[in-house]
Structure formats: C-alpha cells, structure tokens
Amino acid sequence: MLGGRPRNGFVRSLAQAVAAPSSEIWLAWPPATTASQTPMAEDSGPAKLLAMGGIRTAAAPVPVPVLYLFPVSFNAGKAKMAMQLSEKGAVAVDRFDSGFVLHMRDNYTLEYARLNPDTMAVPTLEIDDKVITESHEIVRYLFHNYPGPGDREVQASGRAAEMWAFVDLARSWDEYVFTYGHMGAQSSDMANGIRLLYLRYYLGQTLREKPEDEQVLVSAYVNKIAGIMTMNRVTGGGATPEAKEKEMQTNRARLDGVLAAASALLGSSSGFLFGDQLCTADACFLPILRTFLVATPAMFEVVFAKHPNLREYWERAQASEDVQQALLRCVRKGALAWFMLKKRVPKTILAYKMGLLRAPPLPDEIEERIRAAAVRKWQEVRG
Ligand SMILES: N[C@@H](CCC(=O)N[C@@H](CS)C(=O)NCC(=O)O)C(=O)O
C-alpha cells in the first residue's frame, strides 16, 4: 500500500467521468419498450447489486446522530435528505454530524467494518441507541420517530401506505448500474479496482492482527469483496457489450417507471410528491434527479420532455433551502474539489494508477472463500 498504509482521500478523474454524459447512450432513451406503463413493484427484472443492510441496537446511545456519507452517493443522499427534513434536521447547528468518507477506501477500515459489517458502504447512521446500515431503514426510522412537517402531513392525511408504495417503487431502480454503466468500463474498473485493493489490504490486516472479532470481520470482508467483484462483473470491462446494453435497457425502463409514477403523483400540483411540503417520498426521489445533475445532465431535457411535471418540481425543489443544504451544495464543483483535496483523493488515484497500491497475498483458504462467495453472489443477483 501507499506508504505502507492506505490513507484518506475522492477521485477527480472519476468525478469527471461521472460528469461526462455518454451521448450515444441517451440517443436510445427512453427505451423503445412500453415498460413505463409496467408497475415496477411487480417487475421481476434483475436484482439490485448493492448489499442490503439493516438496523441493530448499540451498546450505548449516541448524544448526537452521526451520518456517515460520501457527498455524491445516491443512497447517502436519501438518508441526508431524510435527516434534513426530520425533526433532527430542524435542531439548528449540531443537529447531526456528517462523517465524510471516501466510499472506496475509508469505509473499509476495521473501524468502519465493525460499525457497518452488513454493507461496509454509505450511509450508516448512528442515532439514539441504534446503528442503521441501510438507507431504507434510515428513512423509515426517521419517518416513525422524528417526522418533520411534511411527514406529519402524510401521516395525518392517511396516505402513508401510498407513500411507502412509491418509495418501494423508487428503490427498485438500481442506481449503481445506471451510474457506473454511464461512467464506462474503464472508470468502473478503476473505482472497483481501488475498492478491491483496500478491502484486501484491511482483510490482510485483520488476519495479521487477529482481533477478538476476527471471524466476523473476515466474513464481512470476504462478502464485501465478492459483492464488489459481482458489481464490476456487470459494469466493468469484463462485461460483453450485449450484456451491458441489456442491463442498461432494463435499468432505463425501471427508471422511466419511477419517473412516470412521480409525474402522476404530482399531476398539476404546485407542491411536492405528497403535499405542499417535502416528505420522505421526496427524500427518496430527489437523489435520482441529483444523479442526473452530477452524472448525466443531458438526461434532464429528455426526462422533462416526457414528464413535464417533473421540470417544475425540480425547479421548486432547487429553491428549497432543505434541498440545497442536504443535496445540492455538497455537489457543487468547489465543494467537491475541497472534499477531494481534504481527503487526499488525487493521491489515492495516482497511487492506484502508478501501481503503488498493493494488497498483501491472502491465504489460499481465504481466496477459496472469496471465489465461492462470488459464485454465490452472482447466482443470487444474476443467476
Ligand atoms: N442497500 C444499501 C446500499 C449502500 C451502498 O452500496 N452505497 C454505495 C453508495 S450509493 C456505497 O457506499 N458504495 C461503496 C461500497 O460499497 O463500498 C443502502 O441503500 O444503504
């Protein structure tokens, strides 16, 4: 590893790759299929690739909630927006702390793996006596325990079940396939390549240091490595163009179903998805539009032409201080550049490109476990 140990740092070239829309992909969008009329909850397309987390009770409560996130992350964006809209977001200055992590390096340390062995990803939320490792569980927890004004309105209006049905539909879309599919195979290989090196580095550290929780950590690292290998098998250079195109078509069809549902909910309203105020449904939907902003701006015009209600909705959302605070300020060029420098991302990328990031060799038995876990994972999501 660089200087013997991986260090903090985001990936400028990755951000550029993300920000550069691939025009030829959009020429084919929306898809020729009529999937936009298909109810997504009943769509039996491929499973989502990202790991699923949960909720557990911690040994002691935290005084102030801590939300671990990466500024551009889709799932962390849902959690941050939900925090912002909740009662926790209303308590001025230290309402909650953001633990910023570069989600291809810092979330693999032993410390983070212990906090979130389920997904080893962002977001993770420590709140009250809970550790929540799944974005959907975070928004549910906040809705039930700390509803903000918009959620209270949904609860009072008796539309909670309808709202959760929409949230379920929105989360059936696989943002990973969308974003990494557009970044291109090279960027996917690089991001996931960095991830695999750091994961192997910390797995090696675990095996060397043999902490008390060694077995739990080893299982978490083996599963995570298998998960990243699987994700990259779909979006990286190893995927055939035909397989990739099929993935992207299914993904776009699902996305269009979500956008159509949001548009139908809005109708001619001049408010948000479930009323005049932003609520949990908006917290789960707006990160999709932010993904367009960051990764595929050309998408906006295509989407707005097909779903005109969404244009005004997006304008209203951008005018909201809550949306600015939770989702938009942090992805402005200056904010991202500051984050990347502070986290020494260029150093990590440079080291990767120069071949200076190296993981230790792992015992054969562990390599065999990784291979078997990768086969199982592939069966689970694409078998
Ligand atoms: N099901 C989880 C997935 C979390 C997830 O995979 N987050 C991505 C960012 S959107 C991440 O941290 N990726 C880096 C990694 O998995 O190491 C959730 O919704 O919270």
pLDDT at 44: 58
Residue 8: pLDDT over 90: no
pLDDT at 95: 60
pLDDT at 312: 96
Calculate how far, in angstroms, residue 122's C-alpha sits from the geometric centre of ligand 1: 5
Instruction: State residue 124 phi and psi, 5-degree precision.
Output: -130, 140
Ligand 1, atom nearest to 52 Cα: 1
pTM equals: 0.89
Confidence class of residue 89 from pLDDT cuts 50, 70 and 90?
confident
167: which residues sit within 8 A by CB, 6+ positions away? 136, 139, 280, 281, 284
Distance in angstroms (rounded) separating the CA atoms of residues 170 and 230: 23
Q: What is the mean pLDDT of residues 120-135?
A: 96
Confidence class of residue 91 from pLDDT cuts 50, 70 and 90?
low
Which DSSP string do the residues of 334-363 spell out, in sequence order? Answer: HHHHHHHHHTTHHHHHHHHHTT---PPP--
Confidence class of residue 32 from pLDDT cuts 50, 70 and 90?
very low
pLDDT at 23: 32
Average pLDDT, the chain: 88
Ligand 1, atom nearest to 123 Cα: 20
329: which residues sit within 8 A by CB, 6+ positions away? 335
Tokens 């020729």 — which residue? 32
Question: Are residues 36 and 256 in contact, defined by beta-carbon separation less than 8 angstroms?
Answer: yes
Which residue among 81, 83, 103, 131 has the greatest number of ligand 1 atoms within 8 angstroms of its CB, and so is best to mutate?
Answer: 103
Distance in angstroms (rounded) separating the CA atoms of residues 33 and 239: 23
Distance in angstroms (rounded) separating the CA atoms of residues 357 and 355: 6
Q: Count other Cβ atoms within 10 Å, centred on residue 143.
A: 25
pLDDT at 19: 34
Calculate how far, in angstroms, residue 107's C-alpha sits from the geometric centre of ligand 1: 10
**Per-residue pLDDT tens over the stretch 341-368:** 999 999 999 999 999 999 999 999 999 9
Calculate how far, in angstroms, residue 121's C-alpha sits from the geometric centre of ligand 1: 4
Instruction: State residue 351 phi and psi, 5-degree precision.
Output: -60, -40
Whole-angstrom CA distances from 101 to 7, 222, 280, 327, 334 are: 11, 21, 24, 16, 18
Q: What is the mean pLDDT of residues 109-124?
A: 97
**Per-residue pLDDT tens over the stretch 280-311:** 999 999 999 999 999 999 999 999 999 999 99
**Per-residue pLDDT tens over the stretch 314-348:** 999 999 999 999 999 999 999 999 999 999 999 99
Residue 6: pLDDT over 60: no
Paired sense of beta strands 55-57 and 97-100, if any: unpaired
Whole-angstrom CA distances from 133 to 16, 92, 125, 127 are: 29, 25, 7, 11
Residues with CB under 6 A from ligand 1: 50-53, 73-75, 103, 107, 119-123, 134-135, 195
Question: Are residues 178 and 244 in contact, defined by beta-carbon separation less than 8 angstroms?
Answer: no
Residue 232: pLDDT over 90: yes
Q: Looking at per-residue confidence, does 33 or 193 come out higher? A: 193
**Per-residue pLDDT tens over the stretch 211-227:** 999 999 999 999 999 99
pLDDT at 43: 53
Share of the chain above pLDDT 70, in %: 87
